[in-house]
Amino acid sequence: MTDLQILNEINGIASGLKPGEVSTGTTILALPYEGGVLVCADSRTSTGTYVANRVSDKLVQISEQIYVCRSGSAADTQTLTDYVHYYLNQVSLDTGRQPTVKTAAHLMRRLIYNNKDRLMAGVIVAGWDPIDGGSVYTVTLGGSCLKLPFATGGSGSIFIMGLLDNEFRLGMSKDETRALAKKACSHAMARDGSSGGVIRTVAIDAGGVDRDYTPGNELPFGPAPAWD
């Protein structure tokens, strides 16, 4: 074992990440509501066991009413969202119409699948368009693309699947959906060492985009730990 590998082991980086690569080990989710869809994420970005950024924004706007929730390598997901944002802008200029969520999701799928040996990126693409209304797609690390009733991702998702299965229902209002998303994300942040910081949500519908921010000392599940 080389000196670099030993150092990586000590710092907790020997988990599949390349040296110096920053991970958005995270909790992300997307829940539809009556007339739209809401995306939610924590804000912790880590390098092994070191918190590199505790207030990063993992909800990226790639079109007027389409967002991506990022998980995996921060560098990979930032590059992917930049590419997709550029391509969707070109689609809008060429057609004179806003792109659909399906178009954005399948473009993301193609980029991830064609580069699956080089990337570590799993994302949720969600938003609203006049054709399908609010819709949610998840794109896995290997490049599979699935349209789902709702989606979760990241290292914290395993802690909240039972909660969402029990409490989520179709036809919820925007406020009910936002409260459930915050509750679920807060639970995951309390249990998952790679999730933490603050909670960001974005509600997307025909009326536009509505962003919301919850600081760490106002989490629904209780105050954030002292190290946040």
CB atoms within 10 A of CB 149: 11
CB atoms within 10 A of CB 80: 25
SS3 label, residue 183: helix
**Active-site residue (options: 24, 26, 81, 103):** 26
79 catalytic, yes or no?
A: no
The DSSP-derived string for 203-222 is EEETTEEEEEEE-GGG-TT-
SS3 label, residue 213: strand
Q: Could you give the CA distance from residue 53 to residue 210 in angstroms, rounded to a whole number?
A: 24
CB atoms within 10 A of CB 93: 8
Q: Which amino acid is at 22?
A: V
Active-site positions read 26
